[in-house]
Structure 1
Amino acid sequence: MKASLTIAIPGSSSSLWTTMRSVGAFNIACSFAALWTFVKVIRALRWRLRTTQLRGPPRTSFIYGVSNDLASSKDSATMYEHWAQEYGAVYMIPSVLGKTRIVLSDPRAIAHFYARESWTYVQAPLSLALIENLVGRGVLWSQGESHRRQRKALTPAFSNAAIRTLTSVFYDSVYKVKSAWDTDLESSKDGNVVIEVQNWMNHISLDTIGIAGFSHDFGSLDGKHASVTEVFDTFGKNPQVSALNDFLFLLASAFPILVKIPTKRAKLRTKLNVTMGEICNDLLLRSRREKDVNMKEAEEEKSIIGLLIKAEGQEAELHMSEEEVMAQMRVLLVAGYETTSISLTWALIELSRHPDVQTRLREELLAFGPDPTYDQLKANLPYLDAVVHEILRLHPAVPEFTRRAREDDVIPLSEPVCTKSGKMTDSISIAKGSLIVISMRAINRSLAIWGPDAKEFKPDRWLTEDGISGKAKEVQGHRHLLTFVDGPRTCLGKDFAIAEFKVVLSVLVKNFVFEMRDGPDTEVEIARGLLPRPRVVGEDSIGVPLRVRRYE
């Protein structure tokens, strides 16, 4: 038998194993880093080879590009328009961490884009993360076939027939406001009161969507402070965003996971999501119980809550999961609170700034007589229609958005642009992964598209055939506006919103006179609620105090 000699070195085997394991982990990490870098370089080279290189503004920040300039600007639409004038109707802007975005201001290019949205052009990763965090995976979040299915399931609730039956709900809400304001005016010594109108417009919109969509009265117009209204209002009471929030939000366009960092604003979004989830769940449970008792089948087919309950059924042709149903309810609550209330607030501001327009609108409404029906609102009040669409033109609730190209594409232009190499082209190539920006506010106010009076509040432009002319007629959207976007993702609640807008404005203007509290030259700025909102300069929160008196 041969003896073996073993020399034991205390701790040597475990130390060696630890060292080998560390070296192995390091090598794996380096391999992944090298692979990630290689993929990024290949994608960048492919993007550069397959994308038409356009002119654009220089990078003003190594980290942000020009993103911080846009975010901190009081009027980003003016910046977009200035760049379009300098570089052409399609151009590139430097973005965060070396990324580049392509901005479309050409009507033909925009029409091509919208026709392919939700299939070729999809939500950017940051948008998806924010939407999911706020309202879940509903019609606003979904893409392609999933979006088509969810949208088709909801469409009957927004038909003309459905909205016609809801007009009385719009009137009920605005008459609650009239009653409250009448009471304040009765106790006023000089016949006028200062009213913070934005808060009232918020509550009109919220109570209306609650009753019209879910047969539930939130009671915000009656002074009730339900949990959902308190969270909504908190966004408006904290419009200032910290430097850290801005920093993280800008970087999140490159790293969407950053939206999960629990900043104050992120916590508010999460709290709103949870609160809306609790409300929606209660509404859904109640509606399921009451379905057979209080709701006829024909009515069920047209109501939002009825359509959602129907879509829950496993046998439903347009089946939606419980997660999707809850997401639709959240989307409708947010839209009901935000978009119409913002438009109504801007309307009262513009009418206060332009007393001649306010007087002319009131004369039309008084001459018409009783409260108009839904069909009369659409066809018999041309100046009301003109005022509403001029507000929608100048003040779209959503000012801009970004989409990502899911595949290569070629976008045609209505007029040639000069590329970075100096060549003229009447179309541009877009590589998969490209980020596309459209500023609805910039297009709606563009001097090149709408003419020299594009920045003016001028309802008369909607009353004559040549009032909308030139390039404005090339814009394919509702009444040549991008306010409700276009294509397969056109705002589903467009007609609902316009009808509510007209009802509320008609009652308020017919009964009250509005003035800016501190005179017609009062400066108004943009504050940040869930969406950008008007605010009188110097006011806290999102305050818009107007001087109101009864019309006699």
Structure 2
Amino acid sequence: MPSASLSISAGLFLLCVWLFSKFFLNASRGVTTTRLRGPPRTNLILGLSEFTLQSVSMSGAYEEWATRYGAVYAVPTALGRQKIIVTDSTALLHVYNAERTVYEKPKSDRKFLGEMFGHGIAWAEGDEHKRQRKALSPAFSNAAIRKLTPVFQDSTHKVKSTWDDLIESPEGAIIDVQKWLNAIGLDSIGIAGFAHDFHVLDGERSPVTAVFEALEHANINSFDTVVLILSFVFPIMSSLPTRRTRLFWELRRTLEEIAGRMLEDTRREKEVGVVDGMRDKSLIGLLLKAGLKDSEMRMTPEEVASQMNVLLLAGYETSSASLTWTLMELAWHPEIQEKLRKELSQGGDCDDATWDQLTYELPYLDAVVLEALRVHPVVTELGREAIRDDIIPLGTPIVTASGETVSNITIAKGSTVVTPIRCINRSEAFWGPDAKIFRPERWLEPITGQAKDLQGHRHLLTFHDGCRACIGKGFALAEMKAVLSILVRHFTFEFPDGLDTKVETHVTIVVRPKVAGQDGTKVPLRVKRVE
């Protein structure tokens, strides 16, 4: 009975690990975290039997628990530990303002990011993060993104041309829109970020897409999942060669190879004095140029390569996933789709709209994009570890596990504090009784309720907040608006099997949609020309 023997051995090993964690790692603490109410532990090893990382279904549980236990509560995690869930706007503001000084990425997250993408801005903390962010800022200014908007439009026009060829009748064609939006994302970040065309839209296969497709199709077994969860307690376990880890190693090798080649091309051109206009305007070109002018903004070759890795990842994953969710919402809501198309048709030639037009002259397009980002954040939660003891103030008092009513809580060094982004973005306490509904019109009305107290971009937490707010949010918003302004104006989108089509989620690096029953992360929609 080898399988039974293996299971018993694995169980004994995990029990020993739990005992070590329980009796040694949590011993000899001075200040202790306030004992909070929360759901009971249901699994000795994992904390909650249903616990999954970045699980979309968890956001509904978070909101239910906030109603039951208060706006700040504790959820059991691996090996006797817990995480503090914060859904109180005053507490959130405090945590965001205390990043760098009190709250940092957990050691397990930093280890993973460092191993997978290098020591760039996603990995950096404290003064190192401040320096790298300052160096990157010129590349993500409005002035820089304004010049890059035509890149997004050119990529989208290629897709429009291909779809026109695929649509041979008034009934339209069934097209996997996520595949094409991925291609737009990769080609756009290649040109806008590094003046390098991956030519994915021209039919060439990129090593990057090959690795991401492998991640999309990977069947992560229970052992991989347990290792991943335990790595939050013992970061060294993230180095175990599980299937998931091996795929990420391959991703880093691929990204480093591409980044190194692009960086070398840029250096060679600068040395001989031959720099084309696009490379000089690219994100990496602006980064290198800023480093030449200001020694404080100069980065080492490793840091530059790490930033390129993160940019490639973000450009491919986050924007394309957000665009896919948006087209799906428009397919679910044809009246909203038609209202948006009417605005785009009345706004002149939106195919070549300037950044200023896309930003300031198309309010309903802005509302649709913001609503998609609110309802479908591709990162569902973020955790931070307290590097020193802290006291978090509360806007609304809560009742602790001992029955005491308190207006602030103590956080001990080493505790994990979590911002449940998707939960808050869809919370009725923050956004009103229609919080779960896709309703762009809310962005044309005054923001009310607790949402108005959120300090994130336009009161959203999708781009995070504080000193670690997403530096690329302007890039992402410009790309989404440029792509939608062309596709929605020229095509209509429907679910082939009707509005009751079942949609699931699939987590690779971010949360992606997929139509139930489809292979990988396919999202087939019926696409018709607008006559």
* TM-score bin (small chain): over 0.9
Query: Identity across aligned pairs (percent)?
Result: 49
Among 348, 351, 355, the alignment partner of 1:369 is 348
Change (3 A) 1:291 1:242: same
Distance (whole Å) between structure 2 residues aligned to residue 364 and residue 297 of structure 1: 34
The residue that corresponds to 1:177 in the other structure is 159
Q: Secondary structure at the match of 2:116?
A: helix
**2:139 is equivalent to residue 157 of structure 1:** yes
**2:410 is equivalent to residue 429 of structure 1:** yes
The residue that corresponds to 1:439 in the other structure is 420
Distance (whole Å) between structure 2 residues aligned to residue 67 and residue 127 of structure 1: 22
The residue that corresponds to 2:3 in the other structure is none
**2:486 is equivalent to residue 497 of structure 1:** no
Among 161, 172, 196, the alignment partner of 1:216 is 196
Distance (whole Å) between structure 1 residues aligned to residue 274 and residue 457 of structure 2: 37
For 1:32-47, what aligned pairs fall within 5 Å after superposition? 40-43=25-28, 45-46=29-30
The residue that corresponds to 1:452 in the other structure is 433
Q: Secondary structure at the match of 1:522?
A: coil
- What is the CA distance between 1:298 and its match in structure 2? 12
The residue that corresponds to 1:8 in the other structure is none
Shifted more, 287-296 versus 221-230: the winner is 287-296
- What is the CA distance between 1:234 and its match in structure 2? 2.0
Query: What is the TM-score when the length of structure 2 is the normalising length?
Result: 0.92
Contact 1:107–1:476 (8 Å) recurs in 2 = no
The residue that corresponds to 2:261 in the other structure is 282
Distance (whole Å) between structure 2 residues aligned to residue 309 and residue 387 of structure 1: 35
Distance (whole Å) between structure 2 residues aligned to residue 205 and residue 233 of structure 1: 15
For 1:77-476, what aligned pairs fall within 5 Å after superposition? 77-185=59-167, 188-238=168-218, 240-291=219-270, 293-295=273-275, 300=280, 303-310=282-289, 316-371=295-350, 372-465=353-446, 468-476=447-455
Contact 1:55–1:420 (8 Å) recurs in 2 = yes
The residue that corresponds to 2:6 in the other structure is none
Distance (whole Å) between structure 2 residues aligned to residue 362 and residue 227 of structure 1: 36
- What is the CA distance between 1:296 and its match in structure 2? 8.2
Distance (whole Å) between structure 2 residues aligned to residue 251 and residue 503 of structure 1: 42
Q: CA RMSD in A?
A: 2.1
Amino acid at match of 1:244: F
Deviations, residues 319-376 of structure 1 (Å, cap 9, x unaligned): 3222211110000000000100010000010000000000000000001121221111
Amino acid at match of 2:204: K
Distance (whole Å) between structure 2 residues aligned to residue 38 and residue 544 of structure 1: 48
Deviations, residues 144-169 of structure 1 (Å, cap 9, x unaligned): 00001011001001111111111110
Deviations, residues 355-408 of structure 1 (Å, cap 9, x unaligned): 000000000000112122111111111110110000000011111111100011
Deviations, residues 151-204 of structure 1 (Å, cap 9, x unaligned): 10010011111111111101001000000000111xx24541000011111110
Gaps of 5+ in 2: 1-18
Q: Secondary structure at the match of 1:317?
A: helix
- What is the CA distance between 1:253 and its match in structure 2? 1.2
Q: Secondary structure at the match of 2:43?
A: coil
Query: What is the TM-score when the length of structure 1 is the normalising length?
Result: 0.89
- What is the CA distance between 1:118 and its match in structure 2? 2.6
Contact 1:74–1:525 (8 Å) recurs in 2 = no
Contact 1:133–1:269 (8 Å) recurs in 2 = no
Distance (whole Å) between structure 1 residues aligned to residue 22 and residue 175 of structure 2: 58
Gaps of 5+ in 1: 1-33
Contact 2:176–2:525 (8 Å) recurs in 1 = yes
- What is the CA distance between 1:39 and its match in structure 2? 6.1
Q: Secondary structure at the match of 2:522?
A: coil
Contact 2:54–2:511 (8 Å) recurs in 1 = no
Contact 2:288–2:298 (8 Å) recurs in 1 = no
Distance (whole Å) between structure 2 residues aligned to residue 377 and residue 313 of structure 1: 33
Aligned length: 510
Distance (whole Å) between structure 2 residues aligned to residue 67 and residue 101 of structure 1: 15
